[in-house]
């Protein structure tokens, strides 16, 4: 009886938090994701696996505690598995990009998903682009060139590979966000934990298969890595995404993308402050220009 009262009390407290506050808080928490990946010092696929594996354990406990496991809808298995597969691709490319070009640039590249989401809105949802959106795309490219450099041939091979992985992250991230938004929109309004639980579990399964096929180690080398991966799973996968996923159906897609700009900016800031990323005024200008273009891209469309 006390457990039921505690659950209702928690849900009542969460109900008083606005969707905008949830998205902002979730973006702030997830902005540390790349930091934990960098500190963990394990292969990209390994960190991705433990992120969703530990995250799914925390989500399972929360779903069991709240009684949501009794409300499982088997019809959602296919959409959950598709979303989990897309998220596995997103994590794989993003974590590889983090290790190659650093947390800041990898996260900014991944958040160019705003443009892909907007184009999907035009193609599938009948939304209209404005001149502001069309203008934002070349501005974003210019901002990225300020960050990366204008001469591609001067970049090292790892940097080129990291940038390509970052752009692939953006593509997979956009498809994942749109699929998750659709799942959350169709789920019962009182389901908070179980949708993301099943997405995380399927994602962990896909990444485990990749680890086996590529003969990549599951071993966590030391306590520091374990702590980083555990924190990554608890906060980045569970707490942060619960906030974002439950708020997304109640906020327009373009506004969600705009608010989530907090994540790449903070990730770049943590990269500079924690990992001492060499950053000039030109690089900061590139960050400002790119994020401004992403803002224009997110808001430059009409339903």
Tens of pLDDT, residue by residue, the chain (303 residues): 444 554 454 444 445 567 777 888 888 888 898 889 989 989 989 999 999 999 999 999 988 888 887 777 777 788 889 999 999 999 999 999 999 988 888 988 888 887 888 777 777 777 777 777 778 888 888 888 888 877 777 888 988 999 999 999 999 988 888 887 777 666 555 677 888 888 899 999 999 999 999 888 899 999 999 999 999 999 988 888 788 767 776 776 656 666 667 778 888 888 888 888 888 888 899 888 888 887 777 665 554
Q: Is residue 4 part of a domain?
A: no
CA distances from 108 to 85, 160, 167, 248, 268 (A): 22, 15, 9, 20, 8
Domain holding 173, by residue range, is: 39-302
In a domain, residue 126? The reply is yes
Number of domains the chain contains: 1
pTM of the complete model beyond 0.75: yes
Q: Is residue 31 part of a domain?
A: no
Distance CA 142, CA 119 (A): 20
For residue 6, is it within any domain?
no
| Main-chain phi, psi angles of 151, to 5 degrees | -110, 100
């Amino acid at each position: 009886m006390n457990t039921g009262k505690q659950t209702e009390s928690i849900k009542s407290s969460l109900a008083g938090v606005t969707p905008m506050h949830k998205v902002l808080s979730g973006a702030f928490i997830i902005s540390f994701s790349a930091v934990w990946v960098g500190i963990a010092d394990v292969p990209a696929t390994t960190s991705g696996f433990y992120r969703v594996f530990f995250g799914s354990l925390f989500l399972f406990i929360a779903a069991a505690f709240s009684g949501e496991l009794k409300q499982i809808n088997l019809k959602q298995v296919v959409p959950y598995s598709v979303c989990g597969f897309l998220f596995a691709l997103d994590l794989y490319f993003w974590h590889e990009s983090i290790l190659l070009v650093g947390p800041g640039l990898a996260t900014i590249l991944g958040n160019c998903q705003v443009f892909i989401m907007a184009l999907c809105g035009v193609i599938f949802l009948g939304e209209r682009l404005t001149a502001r959106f069309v203008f934002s795309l070349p501005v974003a490219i210019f901002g990225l060139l300020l960050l990366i450099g204008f001469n591609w041939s001067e970049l090292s091979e790892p940097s080129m590979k990291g940038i390509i992985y970052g752009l692939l992250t953006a593509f997979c991230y956009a498809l994942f966000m749109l699929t998750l938004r659709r799942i959350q929109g169709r789920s019962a309004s009182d389901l908070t934990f179980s949708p993301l639980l099943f997405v995380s579990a399927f994602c962990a399964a896909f990444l485990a298969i990749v680890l086996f096929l590529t003969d990549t180690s599951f071993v966590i080398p030391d306590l520091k890595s374990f702590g980083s991966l555990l924190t990554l799973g608890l906060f980045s996968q569970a707490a942060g995404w619960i906030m974002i996923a439950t708020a997304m159906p109640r906020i327009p897609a373009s506004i969600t993308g705009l608010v989530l700009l907090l994540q790449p900016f903070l990730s770049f800031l943590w990269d500079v402050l924690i990992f001492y990323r060499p950053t000039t005024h030109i690089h900061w200008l590139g960050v400002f220009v790119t994020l401004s273009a992403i803002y224009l891209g997110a808001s430059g469309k009409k339903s």
